[in-house]
Amino acid sequence: MLKKKKIEDVENTDAINDAIDTETEEVTGSAIDEKSAEDLLKEEISLANDKYLRLYAEFDNFRRRTTKERVDLLQQAGKEVIVSLIPVIDDFERAVKSMENATDVRAVKEGVILVQNKLNNILGQKGLKPMESIGQPFDADLHEAITNIPAPTDDMKGKVIDEMEKGYYLNDKVIRFAKVIVGA
């Protein structure tokens, strides 16, 4: 019987030790779980901050690149117009040289008119179009009235009688308003 009791005591002790070990593992396991949960949250925050910084840097690089591309595009657009006007400058230089020795004013006048037509054609190809104002009803969106004068006829009242400066469209947008005299 003693042996049986000893065996039972040993078995009870083993059961108690197992129970204690299980409780210890649960306590340390939950402590590990708490600590690992805290570590996981810290890792998530670290990853989110890293992702945010990378996204911010990428956006900043995008903004700089598009700004640079826009400046380059504007410079190239200006360059195209300037290059197309160089032949007109050459023509004007030739006209000035020919005026020094010219005796016939009519030939010089025709040369200057040709250069003007060439300039107008080049600008027309780039989208510049002159505004027709004389005889049109006054429109404040297109015209800038300098003064009013008595209309020569009743049908010219409220219409443009004379043009001091021509107005221009660039690709169907007004880039310069026509300065006009309106009939009153």
Higher pLDDT, 31 or 50: 50
Among 86, 16, 107, 35, which Cα is nearest to 27's? 35
Same fold, 16-126 and 129-184: no
Please state, in angstroms and rounded to a whole number, the distance separating the CA atoms of residues 64 and 70. Answer: 10
Residue 20 above 60 pLDDT?
Answer: no
CA atoms of 79 and 59, how far apart (whole Å): 30
Residue 44: the pLDDT is: 92
Alpha-carbon distance 64 to 109, whole Å? 52
Say if domain 16-126 classifies as CATH 3.90.20: yes
Whole-number pLDDT of residue 175: 86
* Domain range annotation of the chain: 16-126, 129-184
pLDDT at 50 over 90: yes
- pLDDT by residue (tens digit) across 88-131? 888 888 888 888 887 888 888 888 888 888 888 888 888 888 88
**Does CATH place domain 129-184 in 2.30.22.10?**
yes
The pLDDT tens digits of the residues spanning 160-172 come to 888 888 888 888 8
